[in-house]
Amino acid sequence: MTVPLAKSESLILDDVGLAPPVALAPLAGITDLPFRQLVASFGVGWVVSEMVASQEMVQAKPGVRERAELGFDQAGTAVQIAGRDAHWMAEAARMIEANGAAMIDINMGCPAKKVTNGYSGSALLRTPDHALSLIEAVVGAVNVPVTLKTRLGWDDDSLNAADVARRAENAGIKLVTIHGRTRCQFYKGSADWAAINKIKEAVSIPVIANGDIVDAASARKALALSGADGVMIGRGAQGRPWVLAQVAANLHGSPAPKIPQGRALIDMVCTHYEAMLSFYGTELGRKVARKHLGWYMDDVSTAPALRKAILTHVDPADVLRDLPEALDMQVAA
């Protein structure tokens, strides 16, 4: 049974409590295990792993599990899977549950061509009957709560998320997250938070609003327009892993995070950098880390030449040597 949410209370999916109702969205190549753990350290309702292809995961193709490091046994983590075949989706779900995951999330929202061309992600919005067969297969395969992340529809002529969500609820989905854009919008324009209200009215399970939510003000507006039960933040957390905790404190009275500045910011970024090196290995880790380091430096007055040096250093020791100077400013307001 899914318990309805009062705005100041936690979400409870079966026996899994999610409080506060502020979540970290899955972002391919960004919300890896080191970043999710960093965000969680400030305080968050739950996080969602990077999407993993169900068949590749089950068949253990080289690098899939190692790259994703899904955090099966991490508290407050939903492991997200994608695919187009009910058998592989169910098998992946069983494997995830067996490895200790508390929740499983089904991806029906990814707009990337390499995903939709494989009839996965948001492409499933074009074939709702087939999408429901995948949902039923996953829900039927496991005992943990299964959630769904999707968009308003494929395009403006097929805004069918409300119908999909209603059918998904009947199939056993416990929570649905809606990105307030169509697939054909990708990330252009603005998220239509008001359109999410149609999905909220169509179901009795919790609905989470996603898209263009970057701070407490945008979260508050998204909730007001959508009537949603919570928010999911993705790109807004880039370079600001504390922002979800800020939103939760402002909207739900959670403990306010101490935003790192000065030496605390330097220590946090250096620790995150070293965690990425450890996670990926030095060669890949330093490349993956560049975007994160760039986002951190976006919020401080890093000299352009120093910024360029940090992002082009080959030796991690040189990066760690120069980061204190690059970040030794107060976080911009």
pLDDT computed for residue 165 by the predictor: 97
Q: What is the pLDDT of residues 287-306, one digit of tens each?
A: 999 999 999 999 887 899 99
Report for 44-53, 172-181, 185-194: range of highest mean pLDDT: 172-181
Distance spanning both ends of the chain, measured CA to CA: 43
Could you tell me the fold of the domain covering 2-252? Answer: TIM Barrel (3.20.20)
Q: Is the pLDDT of residue 151 over 70?
A: yes
Range name among 63-67, 154-158, 218-222, 251-255 with the lowest pLDDT average = 63-67
**From the candidates 11, 19, 47, 110, which is the catalytic residue?**
110
78-98 pLDDT, tens digit each = 999 999 999 999 999 999 998
pLDDT at 117: 66
Confidence at 332, pLDDT banded by 50, 70, 90: very low
Confidence band for 10, pLDDT divided at 50, 70 and 90: low
Q: Is the pLDDT of residue 2 over 60?
A: no
Q: Is the pLDDT of residue 231 over 70?
A: yes
- Can you give the pLDDT at residue 57? 84
pTM over 0.85: yes
Give residue-wise pLDDT tens across range 122-140: 788 889 999 999 999 999 9
- As a whole-number percent, the residues of the chain with pLDDT over 90 amount to 70
The pLDDT confidence band at residue 62, using thresholds 50, 70 and 90, is low
Over range 309-326, report the average pLDDT. 96
pLDDT for the residue numbered 75? 75
Mean pLDDT on 205-209: 97
pLDDT for the residue 129: 94
Q: Which residue do the tokens 């107060």 mark?
A: 330
**9-14 mean pLDDT:** 70
The residue-averaged pLDDT of 254-276 equals 95
pLDDT at residue 1, as a whole number: 36
To the query of whether residue 184 is one of the catalytic residues in this protein, the response is no
Residue 247: the pLDDT is: 97
Work out the mean pLDDT of the chain and round it to a whole number.
Answer: 89
